[in-house]
């Protein structure tokens, strides 16, 4: 195995573990924080890190004034509303149920791209989405909560919709 291949594989595994742990972390943090406070703290930390990377990075890029509106819209959709819905939903459903619902995002994205952007869906796209969803299902099927509330599922649906719009 080449060094590049091993680094890529490690990166994928690392990202998957962090993503999976985020649902458990959210569930735990919501015992002491409100959904929006949790989101604000999370993005304050991310903003500090990204600002440091931006100012000390090798390639500095200038922002174009015409892009500010795009940044605002995507920030509201993909950050504020998405995490409002996700964090709030976690008050009502288990981390397993939440992660299973979020796993449909690639499926919904493919459908939206096909309908609105004339995206050509190939067999490999369908296979990848199905394989991903099956994998998530088997990982969380025994951890899905029996005490889940419909309000949590609706809020997770809101998270899916805002992320796809983003």
Per-position pLDDT tens, the chain of length 166: 788 888 888 888 888 788 778 878 888 888 999 988 888 888 888 888 888 887 787 666 676 778 888 888 888 888 888 989 998 998 898 887 888 888 888 888 888 988 898 888 888 888 887 887 787 777 666 655 567 788 998 999 999 999 999 8
Name the phi and psi angles at 123, rounded to 5: -60, -35
Instruction: Map tokens 């369908």 to a residue.
Output: 126
Distances (CA, A) of 7 to 12, 26, 98, 105, 128: 9, 28, 29, 26, 21
Cα 85 to Cα 35: distance, rounded to the nearest angstrom: 8
Longest dimension (CA), the chain: 50
**Beta-strand runs (E) in 71-113:** none
What does the pLDDT read at residue 121? 84
- Say if residues 98 and 156 touch (Cβ distance below 8 Å): yes
Tokens linked to 129: 């989405």
Cα 54 to Cα 52: distance, rounded to the nearest angstrom: 5
What does the pLDDT read at residue 66? 82
What does the pLDDT read at residue 144? 55
What does the pLDDT read at residue 160? 94
What does the pLDDT read at residue 164? 93
Neighbouring residues of 39: CB distance < 8 A, sequence distance ≥ 6: 79, 80, 83, 84, 87
- Say if residues 99 and 148 touch (Cβ distance below 8 Å): no
Tokens linked to 102: 């979020």
9 SS3 class? helix
What does the pLDDT read at residue 158? 95
Instruction: Map tokens 């719009």 to a residue.
Output: 165
């Amino acid at each position: 195995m080449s060094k590049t291949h091993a680094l890529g594989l490690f990166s994928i595994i690392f990202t998957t573990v962090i993503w999976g742990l985020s649902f458990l972390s959210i569930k735990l943090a919501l015992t002491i924080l409100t959904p929006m406070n949790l989101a604000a703290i999370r993005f304050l930390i991310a903003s500090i890190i990204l600002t440091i990377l931006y100012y000390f990075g090798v390639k500095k890029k200038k922002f174009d004034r015409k892009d500010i509106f795009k940044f605002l819209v995507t920030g509201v959709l993909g950050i504020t509303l998405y995490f409002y819905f996700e964090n709030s939903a976690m008050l009502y459903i288990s981390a397993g149920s939440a992660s299973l619902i979020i796993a449909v995002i690639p499926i919904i994205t493919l459908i939206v791209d096909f309908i609105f952007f004339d995206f050509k869906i190939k067999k490999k796209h369908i296979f990848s989405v199905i394989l991903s969803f099956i994998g998530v299902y088997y990982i969380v099927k025994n951890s899905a909560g029996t005490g889940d509330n419909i309000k949590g599922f609706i809020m997770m649906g809101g998270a899916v919709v805002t992320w796809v719009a983003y």
